[in-house]
Structures are given as structure tokens and as C-alpha cells.
Amino acid sequence: MPRVRNPLKRLAGKAAAHVPPSSVDYFRTEYFKVLDTVTLQFTERFENEGLLMIRKLEKVLLTGVTDDDVLPQYPEVYRPSLQVQLAMFKSKYDFQSSSEAATILQGMLPEVRGLFEQGRFPEFCEG
């Protein structure tokens, strides 16, 4: 345990410094401080706006339902074509994740892959 330091008198007045009665009590508070920090860092890293947009794009790909919040940010995507292509892709292929859909697209002949050009978001497919 670190040594006890008295707080400044102008801040604490005549109050005594808090001293944990045992090392278990001291490290319990330190443990929860670390957990709070880790939780905050994970939340900041994985709940940002860019990742939320990627999740919405993935949902569009997996469900075939076009989202009014996502598609206006991609002016190169023609919505009616995308709806038809996603419906056709879902009816012909069975996939559960975006990586499976990307693998299916990558395994297609270039001529066949061209039929699904509206559904090829660059975040999911390379090549």
C-alpha cells in the first residue's frame, strides 16, 4: 500500500485522511477504478460514429432493407437498383454475416459480380 498522505488543510479542513484498513480494501477500490477506465475506453473506441455507420451498412447488406439514414450519405448508390440487387442476392445465396457475403461476391466471376455492383460497399468487399 502507498504511504498515507494528508490532504491539504485548505481543502480538507480538520478532517483526517482516509486510510483503508487493509490492503484488500485499498486494492478493491483500485480494481474498480481500472474496470471503470477499461469500460470507458472500450465504449469510446467501439461506440463511435464511424463504427455505427458500418453496423448500419452491414444491416442493410444482411437484411436487404434499405435504411434512410445510411444511403443518403452514399450518393453513388442508386436505391432502386440496390433494393433489387439485395433481394436477388438474398434469394440466391445463403449467408449470415458480411464476411460470408463478401466471400460469396469475391468467388463470383467478374461478369456475375457486375450484377451486384450497387451492393458492393467498399468497407465490405475488396476486389
Q: Where are the domains of the chain?
A: 20-127
Query: What is the band of 34 on the pLDDT scale with cuts at 50, 70, 90?
Result: very high
What average pLDDT does range 101-113 have in this prediction? 85
- pLDDT of 123 strictly over 60: no
pLDDT tens digits, one per residue of 3-33: 777 777 777 778 777 778 888 999 999 999 9
- pLDDT of 41 strictly over 90: yes
CA 90: distance to chain centroid? 24
What is residue 27's predicted lDDT score, i.e. its pLDDT? 94
pLDDT tens digits, one per residue of 52-79: 888 888 888 888 888 788 888 888 888 8
What is residue 118's predicted lDDT score, i.e. its pLDDT? 66
Q: Which of 39-43, 68-72, 123-127 has the lowest mean pLDDT?
A: 123-127
Q: Where are the alpha helices (DSSP H) in the chain?
A: 9-12, 23-46, 49-63, 79-92, 98-107, 110-113
